[in-house]
Structure formats: C-alpha cells, structure tokens
C-alpha cells in the first residue's frame, strides 16, 4: 500500500505518460472517477487489515485487477508480490488451513531465489554492480568487480536457508542487512532515482519477520492433499518457481520473474530532430539524454520520463515498447525525423533495435 501512495499518479488516467491497456479500446475512466476508484481500493485495503474481512479483500483485489488491466505500466514487481499475497486472503479463511503460512513463505523464497539467479551474469557485474557500489561504498576498482557476484550468491543462499529452520534466523538477519544496504543506495547520497523500491524493501523486511522469525516448523513442506487451497498453492508455486525460468528465453515478463537490476533489462529511447521538437505534445527537456553514435537531434529517455512522471520504471517488455512507439508515431512528425530505439545494456551504437512508424501500413 505504501508503494501505491508513493506512485499515486501511476494509478490515475489523467496524466502525461500514456496508459497501455491490455486490451485496445477498453474504456478508461477520466478525472475524478479514476481518483475515486483508487481511493476506494486503498480504503478497502486498509479496511481489510483493520476488520480482517475476506469480502473487503476480495473487493480490493477486484479493483486492483481492473487497474492493472487498464495499464501495463502498473505491472511492477511489488504490485505482483502484493497481488500474490492478497489472493489467498480473499478466497480463504486461513485459520482453517494449517499450511497457509507456507504459501507466503514460498512466495518470499521464490523472490530471493530468482532475483539472485537472474543477477548471475557478467552484465550485472560490469553494468549494475559498479553503480550500486559507488552509491554505497564509493568507487570500486576494476580488480574488485568480481566481488559483485557475492550479491546474487547471497540472495540464492538466503532463499535456500529460509527453507530450513536451523538456518532461517541467520538468513533473515542477512536478508534484512541486504535490504538496509539497498535502502542506503536509495538515499540521495546513493544517487538512485527509483524511490518506489524504498517502500517495497521496507515491506520485504516486515514480511521476512512475519513469515520466518520464530516459526516452529523444522522445514517447509508441500502438501499433496486435494483441496482448493492446495490447488491455489500449486498454482503459486508454478508462477513463482517455474515461470520465471521462461524469462531467460523471453517468454515471461522481467518483472513477473523478479528479474530486477540484473543488467539484462532493455531501455527505450525516442530520437527527434531539433526542427520537430515543437510538435511534441509534452515538454521533455528534463528527460533528454545523449547516446554515443547518435547525433543531430534530441533523445527522450522513456525510462527517465516514466520515473519522473509515475515514480516507476517502464517494464522492459517489447509489447509495451511497441505501444509507446505507436504513441510517438501518432504525433505530427515526419517519419524520417523521428526514430524509436530499444537499447540493451551497456548503451552503444551497436546494440539496438528500431521500431519503425510505418504509418502507411
């Protein structure tokens, strides 16, 4: 809920950054209806916590589903995490299910496991870790870059250690320290501008303590008994442990796979010739950037625009990039004077894909 409050504009329809609905042509409520819907959702979430009401949880979940269908920019990892936590609270009286806690525990384990596995690559070491290290510890020399592999290894070890009672408390301590270092990175001194991760890290610390501290079970178990709750848990296990593997081949979303700060994410930029800048519908002067090898115009950093406008990064999915490209192509700018490009990390003039406007199609 804290994340929703910080990125409040993300949930409104009346904004400069375009909405990207799941289904083209679906109705979008304008102001003040969009604001009323969001306030209702927040009120229902607060009410469900105070009154422990499954009905209020179900209504909150329904509103959340409507909101994420209306805009794929809302498909953020913390939204997905909260959604997974909210589903069993809506559908079941968890007091009647002794294994209910393990549902939430396995979600947490899956997040740490895949967050770590996705970072086990050279791109994380050379593109992401130096930025993190500089924000937290100061500049790290090249010969120490390989220390960055400790971060994904620690995350994977946290996931494995949370499974067993004997290693659970040390794992919680290490995980909390990890989140505190991330929170340090998110301070102004750390230089990171994705402030929405701040409340999620605080939430993760809270969930760690609630789900794993002083828990009596020797180890987590998966019950194979028939029953609707066990079916739900099985579906969750597939979503959290199996589907993220498909992200390695591009068949499952980055954020739904907990693929965050891995160095594998892609970014979208829009290059516009100087003579055409006055035709842009918004003032992008604060989000212009330079890309090596591209000259003769101004380049709009879509991710920076998203962070500035919505307080969240743009999900690095091709369908979302294509939808954003169409929005710019619909502006009254000649096709040969605008170029929409997708870049991989590190940004260079040799690793990009062009999304042509093709208005004649």
Instruction: Compute the Cα dihedral for 211, 217, 222, 226 and give only its sign.
Output: negative
Residues across the chain:
361
For the chain, percent of residues with pLDDT exceeding 70? 86
Confidence at residue 231, expressed as pLDDT on a 0 to 100 scale: 86
Res 359 pLDDT > 60: no
Of residues 209 and 193, more confidently modeled: 209
> Mind listing the pLDDT tens digit for each residue in 240-282?
999 999 999 999 999 999 998 898 888 999 999 888 888 888 8
Question: Does the pLDDT value for residue 118 go beyond 90?
Answer: yes
Q: What pTM value is reported for the model?
A: 0.89
Does the pLDDT at position 122 exceed 60?
Answer: yes
Predicted local confidence at residue 281, as pLDDT: 82
pLDDT in tens, 228-239: 888 888 899 999
Task: Return all residues near 251 (Cβ < 8 A) that are at least 6 apart.
Answer: none
d(CA 353, CA 150): 32
According to DSSP, the residues that pair with 355 across neighbouring strands are 340
Residue-level pLDDT at 225: 63
Q: pLDDT band at residue 361, thresholds of 50, 70 and 90?
A: very low
Strand 288-289's sheet: what is its strand order?
288-289, 297-301, 266-273, 338-344, 352-355
pLDDT in tens, 54-110: 888 888 889 999 999 999 999 999 999 999 998 998 888 777 877 788 899 999 999
333 vs 296, which has greater pLDDT?
333
- Judge contact between 250 and 260, C-beta under 8 A: no
């Amino acid at each position: 809920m804290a994340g929703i409050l910080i990125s409040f504009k993300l949930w409104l329809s009346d904004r400069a950054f375009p909405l990207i609905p799941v289904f083209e042509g679906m109705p979008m409520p304008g102001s003040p209806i969009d604001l009323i819907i969001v306030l209702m959702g927040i009120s229902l979430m607060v009410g469900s916590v105070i009154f422990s009401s499954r009905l209020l949880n179900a209504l909150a979940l329904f509103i959340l589903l409507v909101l994420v269908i209306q805009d794929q920019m809302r498909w953020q990892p913390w939204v997905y995490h909260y959604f997974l936590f909210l589903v069993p609270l809506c559908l079941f009286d968890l007091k009647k299910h002794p294994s209910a806690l393990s549902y939430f525990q396995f979600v947490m384990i899956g997040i740490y496991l895949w967050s770590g596995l996705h970072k086990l690559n050279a791109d994380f070491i050379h593109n992401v870790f130096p930025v993190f290290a500089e924000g937290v510890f100061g500049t790290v020399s090249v010969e120490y870059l390989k220390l960055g592999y400790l971060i994904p290894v620690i995350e994977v070890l946290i996931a494995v250690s949370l499974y067993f009672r004997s290693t659970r408390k040390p794992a919680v301590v290490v995980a909390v320290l990890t989140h505190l270092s991330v929170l340090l990175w998110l301070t102004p001194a750390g230089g990171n501008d994705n402030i929405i991760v701040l409340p999620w890290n605080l939430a993760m610390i809270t969930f760690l303590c609630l789900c794993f501290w002083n828990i009596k079970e020797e180890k987590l178990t998966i019950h194979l008994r028939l029953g609707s709750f066990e079916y739900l848990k099985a579906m969750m296990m597939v979503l959290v442990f199996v589907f993220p593997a498909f992200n390695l081949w591009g068949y499952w979303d980055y954020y739904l796979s907990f693929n965050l700060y891995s160095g594998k994410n892609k970014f979208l930029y829009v290059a516009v010739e100087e003579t055409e800048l006055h035709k842009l519908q918004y003032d992008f002067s604060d989000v212009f950037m330079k890309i090596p090898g591209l000259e003769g115009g101004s380049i709009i950093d879509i991710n920076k625009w998203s962070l500035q406008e919505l307080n969240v990064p743009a999900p690095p999915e091709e369908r979302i990039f294509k939808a954003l490209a169409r929005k710019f192509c619909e502006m009254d700018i000649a096709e040969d004077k605008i170029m929409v490009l997708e870049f991989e990390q590190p940004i260079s003039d040799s690793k990009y894909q062009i999304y042509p406007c093709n208005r004649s199609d």
